[in-house]
Amino acid sequence: MNINNSNDSNAESNNKKITFLQKYKKTIMFLAFAFWVGFAVLYSMQSNAKEPYPVGDISKQQLLENHQEFADNYYDYQLSDNELTAIDAIADKVNIKVFFGTWCHDSEREVPRFLQSFKHSQSKVSLIALDGNKSDPDGLAKQNKIKYTPTFVVYDGNVEIGRIVERPKQSLAEDIWMIWYNYSSTKT
């Protein structure tokens, strides 16, 4: 009799498990699905975190080849006559350091415009890509007290003569010409 009682209780236990699974089938499936989605989201966030934005010196070619928004804005931008005149007037008189982030929407708009404006200029141009904390490996952003992106720092030789932060008043070319003009007129 003990054997029958043991078999009966095992059968009863198995029936309860089956009944439990049938009763909560949808809930169990929902929880499994939610766990799977949560895991996928966390994995995606982790893998994105491992793919940092470019940081430090970057060439125009690297920027345009690897960041489609910058390339699209570069090729779409048409210079005005005033911009062309301003670029011709400053020719090789200034050096410009451009601090920007490939993650920054203002940079996506202004840096391609700047590059298009200065593509034939003899001005020395340096592109410095910053991370989300607005820093770079060489500490140039900190040295130049960069708080916002993009920031265009204009130099006469090694002397900073002005900067444009986030967006120009007129256009980058005209504003840079105005910085140079104001500086050069006080220099004499």
pLDDT of the chain along its 188 residues, tens only? 555 555 566 666 666 666 766 777 777 777 777 777 777 777 655 544 444 688 999 999 999 999 999 999 999 999 999 999 999 998 789 999 999 999 999 999 999 999 999 998 888 999 999 999 999 999 999 999 999 999 999 999 999 999 999 999 999 999 999 999 999 988 76
CB under 8 Å to 46, separation ≥6 — which residues? none
Helix crossing, 81-90 with 172-187: angle to 10°?
40
Q: Which residues contact 104 (CB under 8 A, 6 or more apart)?
A: 149, 150
The gap from C-alpha 50 to its chain's centroid, in whole angstroms, comes to 14
**What element of type H or E holds 97?**
strand 95-100
Read off the pTM.
0.72
CATH number of this structure's domain 56-187 = 3.40.30.10
